[in-house]
Structures are given as C-alpha cells and as structure tokens.
C-alpha cells in the first residue's frame, strides 16, 4: 500500500511540475497524477535508453517522472497541432 501511495504522490507532483513548466499551470489533480505516472514510465525508459542509471529514491524517481512527463506533454502538443 505504501508503494502505491508513493507512486500517486510522485505522479501528482511530477504532473503538476511538468504542467507548470510546459503550460504555465497544472491540469487538475486527476490529470496531473495520470500525466506524472505515465511520465514516470516514460522517464524510466528514456533514462534506461540513454544508459543513465540513477538511484531509486524519492527525488531520483521524481526527477525521472518530471522529465518523462515533459516529454509526454511535448509529444502531445505536437500531435495536437
């Protein structure tokens, strides 16, 4: 249960931060969490693809999730246009 709550917390923070960076504001609680969780998966994949391995702590996972969420929002903006 603790891992699930941590994932939700990191996802919410990452989605909000990525939304703030790319759009200027967040997307609401639910979308922030979804963007952050999917961004975490994308971020882990991108870091693994680049051969960059980081610690598995809270801040390392948050950083990877933010990078992944920003990448997700960037691709979504390209598709939207």
Q: Is the pLDDT of residue 9 over 80?
A: yes
Q: In angstroms, how far is CA 12 from the centroid of its own chain?
A: 8
* DSSP-assigned letter for residue 1: -
Residue-wise pLDDT for 10-26, tens only, equals 888 888 888 888 876 66
Residue-wise pLDDT for 21-44, tens only, equals 887 666 777 887 888 888 888 888
pTM: 0.81
Where do we find the tokens 């967040």? 26
Q: What is the mean pLDDT of residues 63-78?
A: 86
Sketch the domain layout of the chain as residue ranges: 2-80
| Pairwise CA distance, residues 2 & 19, whole Å | 25
The pLDDT value given to residue 1? 57
What's the distance, Cα to Cα, between the start and end of the chain in Å? 40
């Amino acid at each position: 249960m603790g891992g699930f709550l941590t994932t939700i917390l990191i996802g919410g923070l990452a989605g909000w931060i990525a939304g703030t960076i790319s759009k200027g504001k967040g997307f609401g609680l639910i979308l922030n969490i979804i963007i952050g969780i999917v961004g975490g998966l994308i971020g882990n994949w991108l870091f693994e693809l680049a051969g960059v391995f980081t610690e598995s702590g809270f801040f390392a996972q948050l950083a990877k999730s933010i990078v992944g969420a920003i990448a997700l929002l960037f691709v979504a903006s390209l598709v939207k246009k």
